[in-house]
Amino acid sequence: MDRRTISTRKGSKRKLEQDFEHENQDRHKIPATDTAAGYESHQKLTRHIQTQVDILNSSFSSLEADRAAARRATSVLSQFAKTEELVDTMVDCGAVPALVMHLQAPPPARGENGSKLYEHEVEKGSALALGLLAVKPEHQQLIVDAGALTHLVELLKRHKSVDNSRTVNGVIRKAADAITNLAHENSGIKTRVRIEGAIPYLVELLEHADAKVQRAAAGALRTLAFKNDENKNQIVECNALPTLVIMLGSEDTAIHYEAVGVIGNLVHSSPQIKKAVLLAGALQPVIGLLSSPCSESQREAALLLGQFAAADSDCKVHIVQRGAVKPLIDMLESSDVQLKEMAAFALGRLAQETHNQAGIAHNGGIVPLLRLLDSKSGPLQHNAAFTLYGLVDNEDNVADLIKVGGFQKLQYGEFIVQQTKDCVAKTMRRLEEKIHGRVLNHLLYLMRVAERNIQRRVALALAHLCAPDDRKVVFLDKNGLDLLLGLLESGSVKLQCDGSVALYRLATQASSVSPVDAAPLSPTPQVYLGEQYVNNPTLSDVTFLVEGKRFYAHRICLLASSDAFRAMFDGGYRERNAKDVEIPNIRWDVFELMMRFIYTGSVEINIDLAQDLLRAADQYLLDGLKRLCECTIAQDISVENVSLMYELSEGFNAMSLRESCILFILEQFDKLCTKPWSSHLIQRIMPDIRHYFEKALSKPTKLT
C-alpha cells in the first residue's frame, strides 16, 4: 500500500476520534453502563447496540422526544464505532441504514416553523459514526449503497443556507471526514463522489472561515485526488490551486499539512498539473514547509520537491537557488525514517544536475548520505545510494567522498534490494571513470599531506579505482604501496582486512595471467624423443637404478633436458662413463614421472606426488617440470597449510608457488587472521609481498 495513503487514512481516523472526544467534553456524559467496558459479555453489547439502532429506526421525526433520542443514539453509536472490534457487530445490527437515514433532517411536523430541536447535531453524529465505520474497507461500499453519499454532499452545502455557527461547521466537517474515509483506497467510490458533485463544494470550503472546515475539505480532496485523473482534473478546473497555495503558508500546521498533501497527490504522475502548480506559485511555499514544526508536512514537502525536480533541469536549479538544499540535508539527520527517506528522495532528484551536485556536497550532504547506507530501510537506503550516484558525477565531489571513507561504505555496504546493489555498482564504475587528471592529482595530494587515516582511505580506494597506466605512479612513486602494506602490519583486524582486499585487487589487476603462466620459459632448447622411448632398452645407453629397479634412458635426451644432466654426463663426475647410475633419494614413481616429462615435455601430476616431484625437479634443474609441480601444489593451498606451503616454496626457491601463497594469504586474510600464527606469518612474508608488488607494478601495462 502507498505510504501516503496509509498516512491519510490514519490521519482521518485519528481526527474523527479526537474531534469526537473534544466536542463531548462539555456535553452530557454517557453513563459507564452504556460503554463497552461496562458490559461483561459480547451478547450484552450486541443487545445494547441493537437498542440504539432500533431507536434510530423509530425516531425519524421532528418531535422533541424523537430528536433527543436520535441525538443520544448517534452519540452512543459513535462512541462504540471507535472500538474496532465492535464495528462489525454494529453493521450486523443494521446501524448503517439507520445512520444514513439520519444524515438528513426529518420531515417537519404539521404547523412546524423555524429551526428544529438539535438541528444539525443528529446529522453530525450520524456522519461521525459512518465515518468511523468506513475506516474498515469492507464496509465502505455498503455505506455508499445505502445512499450515504447523496446526503453527505447535501451536508456540505449547509453553510450556504444557514448562518455560520459552530454546529453547522461541525456537521460540514463530519461530512467531509466521512467522504474521506469512504473514498480511501477505493477508486469506485472516488468516482461516485465526483459524480455526486462533491468536488466543487469541497473546493469552495477551502475558503471557509473556520480553519477546521478548511482542513476537513482539504483532507477529502487529498484522498479523492490520489490515483484518480478525472478527480484531479476537476479539482484543478474548480480553481483549487490558488487557495491551496495560500494554505501552504498557513501557520496552522494541520492546514498546511493537508494542503501540501492535496498538491502532492494532484501532481503525482500528472506533468500538466505539475506545471500548473508551479505556475500558481507553489515552489517557494513548499520549500518553506521544509522548516515546518510538523514532520509530516516536512515529509510531504520533500516528496513534492522531488516530484518537481523530476520535471526539468530548470526546476532543479530553481529549487536549489531558493534554499531547499540545507533544510533537506538537515532532515537527513532526523530520527524519523520516513522524513529521511523523503529528504534523500528529493536530494536524489536534485543531484542529477551538475551545479546542484556541487552545492549538495558543499552544504555537507555527503557524510549523512553515507550514513544512511547503513539503514535497515530498503527505500531509505536506495534513495541515499541514488543521491550519491548523482553526486559522484561531479569531479569536484569525488575526492571529498573518498576522503571521508565513502568508497569503503559503498564497497562493504550490506544493501537490501537488488535495485540498490545495481545503483551502487554503477556508482563504483562512475568513480573509476573519474580517477584521472585533476581528480587523481587531488587524491595524490591527500595521500601525501593529509592525516594518516585519510591517506589510507585514499590508497585503499585507488587500489580499486585507478587506471592501469597510473598504478606505478600511485603505488611505487607516490608510496601508495607503503600505505597498504602498513595496514597489514597494523593492530586493527579491520584495517588489516581492508589492506589485504585492496592488495589482492591490485595484484589481480596488475597481472592478467597466473603466476605459473607468467614464469619464464626454460632457456635450454628441448628435444623430446617421445612416449615410446620412456624406459625403453632400445638404443638405451644409460641405466638408472631406482629402488633396486632398472630404468632405461638415453643420454642425448638427458643432456638436452637440463644443466644438471649435462654436468653429470659431460663433466668430471663418475656417472660420465658409468653404464648404471644409482639414484638413492627418489622413489620409483616420482623418478618415472620426471623421466616421462623429459621425454615428452608434459605429464599429469597427482597431488600426492607433487611435492616429491618438485624436490626432484629442483634437484635436476628441470624448470618446466618445476612450474607444473608448483601449479599443482598451488591448487591445494588452504588456510591450514599455507604456512607450510610457503616454507616449501622457500626451500626449493619455487617463486610461482611463493606468489600463489602470497595471493592466497591476501585473498583469504579474513579467515587467516583468526589463526594464532597469522601475525607471525605476515611479518615473515612482508619482504616477499613488497618484492612481488614492486615487480608486478613495474611491468609495462598490457593493452587489452
Mean pLDDT per 10-residue section of the chain, whose length is 704 residues: 39 45 43 46 90 96 92 96 93 97 87 68 96 96 97 91 80 97 96 97 96 96 96 97 96 95 94 94 96 94 92 84 95 96 96 91 96 96 97 96 96 95 97 96 96 96 95 94 94 92 92 49 60 89 91 88 83 63 91 93 92 94 94 95 94 93 95 90 94 90 49
Q: What amino acid occupies position 608?
A: D
Q: What is the DSSP letter of 209?
A: S
Rg, the chain, Cα only: 42
End-to-end CA separation in angstroms for the chain: 50
Q: What is the DSSP letter of 34?
A: G
Q: Are 254 and 218 in contact (CB under 8 A)?
A: no
Q: Are 72 and 27 in contact (CB under 8 A)?
A: no
Q: Identify the pLDDT of residue 25.
A: 44
d(CA 377, CA 317): 29
d(CA 189, CA 195): 10
CA atoms within 13 A on the CB side of 505: 20
Residue 414, number of CB atoms within 10 A of its CB: 9
CA 166 to chain CA centroid, Å, is: 49
What is the pTM assigned to this prediction?
0.80
d(CA 586, CA 548): 12
Phi, psi (degrees; rounded to nearest 5) at 414? -100, 100
Q: Identify the pLDDT of residue 512.
A: 54
Q: What amino acid occupies position 291?
A: S
Q: Which residue has the cell 473534544?
A: 22
Please report, for residues 144, 192, 220, 296, the alpha-carbon distance to residue 183 in angstroms, rounded to integers and kept in the order given. Answer: 10, 9, 8, 21
d(CA 313, CA 309): 7
Determine which helix (DSSP H) or strand (DSSP E) holds 142, and give its type and residue range: helix 140-145
Question: What cell was used for 423?
Answer: 545503483
Please report, for residues 130, 170, 236, 658, the alpha-carbon distance to residue 11 in angstroms, rounded to integers and kept in the order given. Answer: 16, 18, 24, 68
Q: What is the DSSP letter of 551?
A: E
Residue 581: closest CA among 614, 622, 540: 540
Q: Are 17 and 82 in contact (CB under 8 A)?
A: yes
Pairing of strands 580-583, 542-546: parallel
Residue 114, number of CB atoms within 10 A of its CB: 6
Q: Are 214 and 247 in contact (CB under 8 A)?
A: yes
CA 388, 391, 393, 396 torsion-angle sign: negative
Residue 352: closest CA among 330, 323, 383, 326: 383
Residue 583: closest CA among 628, 616, 625: 616
Q: Are 575 and 559 in contact (CB under 8 A)?
A: no
Q: Are 596 and 603 in contact (CB under 8 A)?
A: yes
Residue 265, number of CB atoms within 10 A of its CB: 28
Torsion angle defined by CA atoms of residues 315, 318, 322 and 328, in that order, rounded to the nearest 10 degrees: 50
